[in-house]
Amino acid sequence: MTLAQTRLGELATWLSLSSRSRKAPVWGTILTGRYASIVPYDFSLPPRTDFDAEALPLFVSSAQAEGVSTGPIEMVAPASQVHMPNRLIHITKKAGVELPPLAVVGLDDADEPIADAVQRLGADAVDLDAYPLLCAPLWALSEAERAELAHKLPVLP
């Protein structure tokens, strides 16, 4: 297993912990929903577009995800999570601090193969044996949300 795969596994564990339902203060359970889903994918293809706009799929190459327990893939909006761009920003802020070092790029065009976007954004130089490369869809976000994320992405080690 490569260092990147180990780090991807650590991220998957953190996502699972951040997605757990919790006990309500008075009665019952608060259903939280998936914080984000790691989605092993063929980067020669355009990204899947069948996720809810509030879901946060993080596309990783199938090779990086091989042998890693990445957790469930949720395609629907999470029950009680913050807005998708805020979750993505949270992950980028924690990368290399409370989370393992990661490379994160935003995908603006749903029709562009992920490998082409990675190259265009300068992430093709990332050492894929050392760093997980996560690709997050941005095409469904508002112009204001994209502008805010433009100052935060890409995250390149």
Give the domain ranges of the chain.
3-14+34-150
pLDDT in tens, 129-141: 999 999 999 999 9
Cis peptide before 154, with omega less than 30 degrees from 0?
yes
CA distance 26 to 31: 14
The mean pLDDT of 113-129, rounded to a whole number, is 96
pLDDT in tens, 37-86: 999 999 999 999 999 999 999 999 999 999 999 999 999 888 777 789 99
Q: Which of 57, 58, 32 is nearest to 133 (CA)?
A: 58
CA distance 18 to 123: 27
**Helix, coil or strand: residue 46:** coil
pLDDT in tens, 12-30: 999 988 876 777 788 887 7
CA distance 119 to 19: 31
